[in-house]
Amino acid sequence: MIRIFELISAGCLIYAAILAVYSGLTTSFFVFWPLMSILFAGLSLWVRYTQTNPVELQVKVRVITIMAAATAIFLAAEAVILIGLFRADERFGPEDKKPEYCIVLGAGLKDGKPSVSLERRLERAYEYLQENPGVILVLSGGKGKDEIIPEAEAMRVWMKEHHVPEYCYLIENRSENTVQNIECSLAVIRKHVESKTLVPVRVTLRSSVEDGPPEERAMPEEREAEPYRLPPTAVLTSDFHVYRALKIFQRTAGVTCAGISAKTDPVMMLHLWVREGVALLKDKFVGNI
């Protein structure tokens, strides 16, 4: 057991060093790995101590129980995320209800450019746009504490560099987390849908020139107000993030939506899946899902 704890401690420390070089010390949730290294190093020392010094049985039982419970809860959260990913459907209900809007969730930036994770989401969004002509992307992401521009702006630049017409996407650049991503994107979609209530019609006006012929002009006419109904919508994000994003969407919008996954950066995969498990538990605790 001592050897196992020592290996885990060393592994956490090595992975922290890899993350520091690959994505920087400001990487979200980075501190988890040094803390885990310290925790397992401490456990190995404690086990070594108990082998040469008497320790009450109740203390041993409590430590083992806490470790077992924490491990079981964490593994259950990861299992839920994995099952949710496999059950995510790119359709919205029946085949004839393909998504009209697709919310593309932002991720971190590096020197104002999309990170590997965000790059993969954008590549998947580009593919999805080609597979589904007519769908409108909602590029969602605000400015993080260590970012020089909003994520949505970096996403806009990427789309322009890949020659995606501006009418194919909308911008949401105020959100700071997944909950706000969904809330603000839904507001952008609603505004876009309701803007379509003004349609041009031909009307005849009197000529401004005396005795001149009547003029026809296109004037906006407001349709009769109808209850707003969210169009079929999809959420596109990294594979590890799909389940939580869909649950937050369902709680916020009151309806289900399609889930589209992008592959995760292999170097960051372990870090992101572990972080997502903790984020899922947190959101469940505070009532976001």
Average pLDDT for consecutive 10-residue bins of the chain (289 residues)? Answer: 92 96 90 96 91 84 91 93 79 63 93 92 95 94 88 96 94 94 96 73 50 53 67 94 94 90 93 95 89
> How remote is the C-alpha of 142 from its chain's centroid?
12
Asked if 68 and 178 sit in the same domain, the reply is no
Domain presence at residue 96: no
* Domain end call among 87, 119, 149: 87
**Beta strands 101-105 and 136-140: pairing type?**
parallel
Asked if 142 and 67 sit in the same domain, the reply is no
Asked if 116 and 243 sit in the same domain, the reply is yes
* Domain end call among 24, 53, 87: 87
Q: Which CATH number covers residue 133?
A: 3.40.50.620
In the prediction, which pLDDT does 26 show? 85
8 A C-beta contact, residue 137 and residue 129? yes
Which residues make Cβ contacts (< 8 Å) with residue 64, sequence separation at least 6? none
Domain presence at residue 253: yes
In the prediction, which pLDDT does 203 show? 45
Domain presence at residue 245: yes
Which is it for the CA torsion 33, 282, 105, 144, positive or negative? negative
Asked if 58 and 107 sit in the same domain, the reply is no
Task: State the residue range of the domain holding 63.
Answer: 2-87
Asked if 166 and 63 sit in the same domain, the reply is no
**What is the pTM for the complete model shown?**
0.82
Asked if 11 and 108 sit in the same domain, the reply is no
In the prediction, which pLDDT does 201 show? 47
> How remote is the C-alpha of 220 from its chain's centroid?
38
Domain presence at residue 110: yes
Asked if 54 and 145 sit in the same domain, the reply is no
Domain presence at residue 209: no
Burial per residue of 256-279, b for 16 or more beta-carbon CB atoms within 10 angstroms, e otherwise? ebbbbbbebbeebeebbbbbbbeb
Q: With H, G, I as helix, E, B as strand and everything else as coil, classify residue 21.
A: helix
* Domain end call among 64, 87, 110: 87
Asked if 261 and 189 sit in the same domain, the reply is yes
Asked if 131 and 58 sit in the same domain, the reply is no
Domain presence at residue 240: yes
The runs of H, that is alpha helices, within 88-142 are 116-131
Tokens in use for 285? 């605790």
Asked if 145 and 275 sit in the same domain, the reply is yes
Asked if 75 and 130 sit in the same domain, the reply is no
In the prediction, which pLDDT does 219 show? 53
Integer-rounded Cα Rg, in Å, for the chain is: 26
Asked if 78 and 108 sit in the same domain, the reply is no
Domain presence at residue 147: yes
In the prediction, which pLDDT does 197 show? 60
Give the total number of structural domains in the chain: 2
Domain presence at residue 248: yes
